[in-house]
Amino acid sequence: MPTELPYAAEAESSLSFEELDVLKRQYYKEIEDGHVTTQSKFNYGWGLIKTQNNEMQTEGIKLLQEIYSASPPHRRECSYYIAVGYYKLKNYANAKKFNDLLLQHEPGNMQAQSLRVLIERGVTRDGYIGLGIVAGAAAVAGVVLASVIKRTKK
């Protein structure tokens, strides 16, 4: 789904299998060698977030949160991509939390501003879907209740 927010394109784009495989092989090679660089871990986490697979996105968030906790100089990049990952998982509360952390330090950050708009749209869209489900359930319950009442009057 293309976005009209060019700065938030990261939230909608994916890597090819080949591109992700390069990042994965580098990451696991460093694990085998006994030392994973922050850059390889970041790259692989970023790549996982850019997939369409929820489990992989969750793993990417986990890797980036490890960097976020262990390496303060990388918090800016990690905050944004963690927010993107949570957005893609439709966990809008955590997406907003990490995006707001970035906006506190960089209020003019266009990527984070665009992502905020996408998060707000997601909350609104899912809210409407939730309302529709509740309204549909209420309508079904009303029909069932009316049917039961009609039968008991006979």
Full-model pTM:
0.75
Q: Which amino acid is at 73?
A: P
Quick check: 3 pLDDT over 50?
no
Which H or E run includes 88?
Answer: helix 75-88
Of 73, 114, 154, nearest to 122 by C-alpha is: 114
Q: Does the structural domain 6-153 have CATH classification 1.25.40.10?
A: yes
- Non-local CB neighbours of 88 within 8 Å, separated by 6+ positions: 11, 49, 57
Question: Per-domain residue ranges for the chain?
Answer: 6-153
What is the tens place of the pLDDT at every residue in 64-118?
Answer: 999 999 999 999 999 999 999 999 999 999 999 999 999 999 999 999 999 999 9
Kindly provide the b/e burial profile for residues 47-63, where b requires at least 16 CB atoms within 10 angstroms of the residue's own CB.
bbbbbeeeebbbbbbeb
Mean pLDDT of the chain: 84
Distance (Å, rounded) from C-alpha 104 to C-alpha 113?
11
